[in-house]
């Protein structure tokens, strides 16, 4: 594996010699450590998607955005509104912390995240920070953090889109500023008739699942701030979305409604040597399953209070410290729990050294989850810049994932039984990286290893015939990520390759973890003319094992997506996207066998899709 990676790096390096020496490389600032830093100083592998990229690619959902990033793979159970499982460096979704404006948005019943219900029109930027980040962010940040930053528009904009399967979308964004007050907003509506998301056995009579699975999303958000100067800045952010979707199920419910929101009030005050942040946030993830005589509600409410301070010890050394209190509540869910809520109090501190050549970070955190005990984590990172455009980094850290309330306290379930003695998962992560940034482009190599112990798995109890969560499994994810952005031959190139070895180490003979491709490759070419820009993206995934129940191998596939934007008039832009250009038939998750068990059926991804639209700025 490592020989292949070295060869790939050589190919990328060779391509760089054709790069224009006049290209200016933007200095990117990110918040990987909860405060703004140049990306090369974070000592972590960070990928960014900004609003400009979103609008150039004309993507319709967040899963399509994330699937082009190094170290990230998305397994989709169909199209809009269906389950999309995001794997970061081979770790499942439960082991990646997802935030919207710093607010947790996972379901405390299951630990999953409804990515397909997060509207793209609400997003200003996505930062994906890979590696163990629990010492900065707490539970769930085992393989990384996906921080979605909502829109803060600087212009007024209206956009309309129409497409395949009767897809329609309308969105607007705008801003207002008066003195020290500024306000930006976004709103959107998205609807499609959808398609039949599971391939059907022709030998089986038509039933309720032989239908289109549609989707609808209505959303609105705002970002309000007032600068009190010497007293600091006060801000309020909110994002709200609701809608419905249909899916295929052989029994019970086959549609759902969702009602989600995040809201945050924050205060920040900075002086020459001290910056203080305080915030109060609330959120809800609510999913109501319908379509039969039984209605099931899955609801998570959270409230969090946090205070952070960052102070300059000397010019090259900064220190941070803070405290947070988080409460999770699932009492509105239909399911019964012995405990319907829990608290977590955390204290944390860190030090960040940067003298332009040598860099070092250390962060420690202690979380005290009610019912599960205390978890202590740390991150240490070191870096050196032998040249202003070259940076080596090494980081080592630990992480944990608290059990879900379902794992420990579920009651009266037909399928699950509680384990009150369940313990948090634990992980240890190492990464060695090199970044080269110059007028020739930006290149990054990362070698990583993530070991998870006490991994929580549901095992069937022979006596009760119910699934019980136990700390019985172990897993190791190792790999190499290579990425490059450069200009050559009149085109902009953005490419990344990930080689992954993800193993289940629970048995004497380690086996490959299901649904994880060993090779993922993404390549985007962009060409800019006077009024026209065109993007062509290739996505390749190697074959990979299915889950044990299907006991098969899922085939490799290659997809091509094409997008274009044309500036018709000043402030008026036409856009189009052709997705799955070759109408490739493939699937990334099994859904059942034929009646004679001769063939596996899968969840059908979107076939060839065409979307066209217009955007007006004023």
Q: 488-504, pLDDT tens digit by residue?
A: 999 999 999 999 999 99
**Mean predicted confidence (pLDDT) in 257-262:** 97
pLDDT at 612 > cutoff 70: yes
| Backbone φ and ψ of 167, nearest 5° | -75, 130
User: Which residue would you say has higher pLDDT here, 224 or 464?
Assistant: 224
User: Which residue would you say has higher pLDDT here, 548 or 267?
Assistant: 267
| Backbone φ and ψ of 596, nearest 5° | -95, 10
What average pLDDT is seen over the chain? 92
Predicted local confidence at residue 14, as pLDDT? 35
**Mean predicted confidence (pLDDT) in 101-120:** 93
Predicted local confidence at residue 64, as pLDDT? 94
Predicted local confidence at residue 605, as pLDDT? 87
Give the pLDDT confidence of 344-386 residue by residue, as tens digits: 999 999 999 999 899 999 999 999 999 999 999 999 999 999 9
List the domains of the chain with CATH numbers.
2-617 (2.40.170.20)
Q: What global pTM score does this model have?
A: 0.93
User: Which residue would you say has higher pLDDT here, 45 or 32?
Assistant: 45
Q: Could you tell me the pLDDT band of residue 15, with boundaries at 50, 70 and 90?
A: very low
**Mean predicted confidence (pLDDT) in 223-240:** 96
| Backbone φ and ψ of 39, nearest 5° | -60, -35
pLDDT at 575 > cutoff 90: yes
End-to-end CA separation in angstroms for the chain: 52
Q: Could you tell me the pLDDT band of residue 462, with boundaries at 50, 70 and 90?
A: confident
pLDDT at 25 > cutoff 80: no
Which of 316-320, 560-564, 597-601, 606-610 is predicted least confidently?
597-601
Predicted local confidence at residue 279, as pLDDT? 98
Per-residue HEC secondary structure of 305-347 comes to EEEEEEEEEECCEEEEEEEEEEEEECCCCCCEECCCEEEEEEE
pLDDT at 251 > cutoff 90: no
pLDDT at 5 > cutoff 60: no
Torsion of CA 368, 312, 383, 442, to 10 degrees: 100
Q: How far apart are CA 215 and CA 377, in angstroms?
A: 41
Share of the chain above pLDDT 70, in %: 96
**Mean predicted confidence (pLDDT) in 106-132:** 94
User: Which residue would you say has higher pLDDT here, 605 or 299?
Assistant: 299
Residues 6+ apart with CB under 8 A from 500: 89, 90, 477, 478, 479, 516, 517, 518, 519, 520
Q: How far apart are CA 197 and CA 604, in angstroms?
A: 5
Per-residue HEC secondary structure of 39-58 comes to HHHCCCEEEEEEHHHHHHHC
Predicted local confidence at residue 27, as pLDDT? 60
Please give the distance of CA 370 from its chain centroid, rounded to a whole number. 27
Residues 6+ apart with CB under 8 A from 251: none
Do residues 88 and 128 make contact, with C-beta atoms less than 8 angstroms apart? Answer: yes
Predicted local confidence at residue 17, as pLDDT? 32
**Mean predicted confidence (pLDDT) in 64-88:** 95
Q: Could you tell me the pLDDT band of residue 201, with boundaries at 50, 70 and 90?
A: confident
| Backbone φ and ψ of 110, nearest 5° | -115, -20
**CA atoms lying within 13 Å on the CB side of residue 185:** 11
pLDDT at 9 > cutoff 60: no
**Mean predicted confidence (pLDDT) in 323-335:** 96
User: Which residue would you say has higher pLDDT here, 526 or 30?
Assistant: 526
Residue the block writes with tokens 């309308």? 170
């Amino acid at each position: 594996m490592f020989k292949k990676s070295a060869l790939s790096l050589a190919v990328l390096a060779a391509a760089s010699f054709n790069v224009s020496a006049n290209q200016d490389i933007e200095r990117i600032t990110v918040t990987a450590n909860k405060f703004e830093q140049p990306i090369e100083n974070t000592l972590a592998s960070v990928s960014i998607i900004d609003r400009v990229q979103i609008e150039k690619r004309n993507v319709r959902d967040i899963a399509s955005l994330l699937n082009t990033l190094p170290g990230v793979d998305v397994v989709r159970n169909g199209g809009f509104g269906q389950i999309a499982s995001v794997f970061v460096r081979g770790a499942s979704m439960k082991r990646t912390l997802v935030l919207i404006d710093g607010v947790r948005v996972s379901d405390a019943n299951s630990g999953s995240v409804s990515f397909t219900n997060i509207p793209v029109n609400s997003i200003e930027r996505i930062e994906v920070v890979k590696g163990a980040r629990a010492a900065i962010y707490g539970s769930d940040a085992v393989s990384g953090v996906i921080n979605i930053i909502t829109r803060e528009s600087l212009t007024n904009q209206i956009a309309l889109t129409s497409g395949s399967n009767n897809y329609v979308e309308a969105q607007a964004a705008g801003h207002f500023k008066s003195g020290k007050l500024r306000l930006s907003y976004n709103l959107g509506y998205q609807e499609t008739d959808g398609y039949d998301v599971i391939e059907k056995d022709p030998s089986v009579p038509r039933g309720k699942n032989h239908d289109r699975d549609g989707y609808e999303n209505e959303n609105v958000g705002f970002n309000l701030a007032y600068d009190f100067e010497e007293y600091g800045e006060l801000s309020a952010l909110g994002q709200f979305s609701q809608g419905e979707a249909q899916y295929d199920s052989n029994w019970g419910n086959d549609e759902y409604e969702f009602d989600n929101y995040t809201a945050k009030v924050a205060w920040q005050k900075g002086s020459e040597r001290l910056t203080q942040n305080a915030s109060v946030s609330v959120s809800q993830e609510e999913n109501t399953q319908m379509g039969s005589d039984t209605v099931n509600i899955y609801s998570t409410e959270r409230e969090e209070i946090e205070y952070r301070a960052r102070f300059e010890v000397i010019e090259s050394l900064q220190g941070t410290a803070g405290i947070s209190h988080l409460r999770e509540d699932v009492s509105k869910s239909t399911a019964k729990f012995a405990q319907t809520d829990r608290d977590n109090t955390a204290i944390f501190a860190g030090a960040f050294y940067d003298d332009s050549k040598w860099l070092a970070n250390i962060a420690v955190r202690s979380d005290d989850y009610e019912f599960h005990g205390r978890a202590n984590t740390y991150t240490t990172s070191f870096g050196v810049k032998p040249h202003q455009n070259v940076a080596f980094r090494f980081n080592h850290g630990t992480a944990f994932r608290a059990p879900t309330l379902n794992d420990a306290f579920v009651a009266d379930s037909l399928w699950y039984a509680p384990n009150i003695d369940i313990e948090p998962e634990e992980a240890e992560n190492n990464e060695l990286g090199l970044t080269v940034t110059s007028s020739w482009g930006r290149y990054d190599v990362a070698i990583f290893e993530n070991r998870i112990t006490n991994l929580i798995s549901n095992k069937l109890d022979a006596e009760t015939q119910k699934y019980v969560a136990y700390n019985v499994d172990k897993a190791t994810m190792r790999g190499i990520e290579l990425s490059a952005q450069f200009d050559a031959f009149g085109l902009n190139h953005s490419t990344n390759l990930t080689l992954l070895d993800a193993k289940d180490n629970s048995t004497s003979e380690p086996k490959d973890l299901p649904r994880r491709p060993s090779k993922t490759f993404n390549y985007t070419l962009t060409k800019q003319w006077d009024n026209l820009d065109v993007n062509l993206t290739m996505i390749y995934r190697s074959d990979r094992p299915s889950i044990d129940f299907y006991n098969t191998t899922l085939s490799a596939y290659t997809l091509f997506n094409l997008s274009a934007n044309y500036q018709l008039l000043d402030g008026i832009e036409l856009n189009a996207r052709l997705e799955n250009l070759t109408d490739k038939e493939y699937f990334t998750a099994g859904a059942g066998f034929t009646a004679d068990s001769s063939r596996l059926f899968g969840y059908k991804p979107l076939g060839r899709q065409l979307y066209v639209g217009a955007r007006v700025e004023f």
